[in-house]
Structure 1
Amino acid sequence: MSEVTAGVLGMVLADSSRTIPFLENGDRLNQAEFERRYAASPDVKKAELIEGVVYVASPLRFTPHAEPHSNLVTWLGLYKANHPNLRIGIEPTVRLDNDNEPQPDIVMFRADSGRTSVSEDGYLVGSPELVVEISASTTSYDLHGKKDAFERNGVKEYLVWRTFDQEIDWFVLGDGRYQKLSPDTNGLLRSREFQGLVLDVPALLNGDTGKVVQALQNAL
């Protein structure tokens, strides 16, 4: 038997002895099985369970995702610096319900609200007050299945930056349904949940982080 043939046979035998299936895009799972397969799939760096369906993330590009992500973290980090009761996390797994375990780009919640807690194994449990997504290739479910799950679970505000469309969607929960905020005449969006959390939309879309920070500082 050649070395190549032996190697292939070894891989087949190893695969046949695997007791936990790999986590695959499109799998339909509950939360417990999702976590079991995720833990057994070390090559998967980011996956989400949205309305019972698994979404495995693609590699992230710099311009449509990584850089916008950094700009929003800067904005929210400044707000947190002035509100010590807040906690912010980047890409945390959030246990919402049996069919939903998202891994949002950013979450922010009040540490003393009792709505969100950190489990013994280190995951967020419950509904953060604010969830933020940078949506490049994921708009199809960020604004549909994921939005529905956040709405149903009582996430109070949900901000989506559609970087290819150069649009910001900021939804707030009212009477159990999301309503989209509209900017004022200066292009500013204002949170209803967090007093003084103001976003200069034109500045953000133009990459002017300094102006975004200045608008927030003026409102604090």
Structure 2
Amino acid sequence: MQAIDKNFFTWNDYVTWEGRWELIDGEAYDMSPVPYPKHQRLVLNIARELAGTLDCKECEVYISPVDWKIDEYNVVQPDVALFCEEPKEQYFSKTPPLVVEVLSKSTAKKDINEKFFLYEKNGVKFYMLVEPNSEIVDIFELKNGKYEFQKKLTCNDSYAFELDKCSLSVDFNNVF
């Protein structure tokens, strides 16, 4: 791996690495070990719910691993994201209007802190954090450049997302 210094990496370093990684503000984050089956089941169920209610053709729901290259120092793989572009490379470059992260022991701190502020700074309209063990979901909406907490949800709830180009929703009874 090439690096500007031992803790600062770029896209050019990232593309040479084996395994799954994320790059946030030039810092490399190893994506191993692989997620638990419950984590993956929730990712699939959320993606299924979102895709099943999506009402536009300009956007599409994707699940990880798929790269969102924000810039030379930031490349992330959201668990679930709604992308509204046809990628010209092997990654997405435009900000998705909705990102979902399912928390796990190895990624929770990064998802709640580093990714929260990265997504906020880069204009992700809705950020959904899913806690698989307690089956609690926190929804944040970007308003005036800052995330505002919208709602704490459980398996008995549903939530509708209104975006510029489309709308979609999740019934969490079908997720959990």
TM over 0.5: same fold?
yes
Q: Say whether residues 1:130 and 2:98 are aligned partners.
A: yes
| Equivalent residue number for residue 150 of structure 2 | 181
- Relative to structure 1, the CA distance from residue 68 to residue 159 in structure 2 (aligned partners, 3 Å threshold; closer, same or farther) is same
CA displacement at 1:53 relative to structure 2: 1.6
Greater Cα radius of gyration, structure 1 or 2: 1
Residues 89, 108 of structure 1: 8 Å contact kept: yes
Question: How far, CA to CA, are the matches of 1:141 and 1:199 in structure 2?
Answer: 24
Aligned partners of 1:31, 1:165: CA distance in 2, in Å?
A: 36
Q: What code does the residue aligned with 2:22 have?
A: E
Give the 3-state SS of the residue equivalent to 2:28 in structure 1. strand
RMSD, matched Cα: 2.5
* Larger RCO, structure (CA 8 Å, separation 6 or more): 2
Identify the match of residue 87 of structure 1 among 53, 57, 60. 60
Residue matched to 2:23: 49
Show CA shifts across 1:77-120 (max 9, x none).
2023x422222222211111333110111211334xxxxx523x
Point out where structure 1 has 5 or more consecutive residues left out of the alignment: 1-19, 112-116, 208-220
Match of 1:161 in 2: 130
**Given the alignment of the two structures, is residue 28 of structure 1 paired with residue 7 of structure 2, yes or no?**
yes
Deviation at 1:183, TM superposition (A): 5.9
Gaps of at least 5 residues in structure 2 are none
Structure 1 counterpart SS, 2:75: coil
Aligned residues: 168
CA contact (8 A) 1:130 1:157 kept: yes
For 2:34 and 2:62, locate their aligned partners in 1 and report how far apart those are by CA, in whole Å. 20
| Alpha-carbon distance between aligned partners in 1 of 2:159 and 2:61, rounded to the nearest angstrom | 20
What's the offset of the Cα at 1:47? 0.9
CA contact under 8 A between 2:139 and 2:152: conserved in structure 1? Answer: no
Quote the residue 2:71 is aligned against.
97
Deviation above 3 Å: which 4+ runs of structure 1?
Answer: none
CA separation of 1:67 and 1:101: change in aligned 2, threshold 3 A: same
Question: Which range is displaced more, 150-159 or 97-106?
Answer: 97-106
What's the offset of the Cα at 1:146? 0.6
State the shift of 1:21 in Å. Answer: 5.7
The one-character-per-residue Cα deviations of 1:135-159 (angstroms, maximum 9, x if unpaired) are 1121101011011001001111111
Hey, what does 1:70 align to over in structure 2? 44
Q: How far apart in 2 are the matches of 1:199 and 1:88?
A: 13
Question: Which TM-score applies when normalising by structure 2?
Answer: 0.82
* Identical pairs, percent: 23
Distance verdict in 2 for CA 1:165–1:139, change over 3 Å:
farther
Equivalent residues of 1:136, 1:164 under 8 A apart: no
Would the aligned equivalents of 1:118 and 1:124 in 2 still touch at CA under 8 Å?
yes
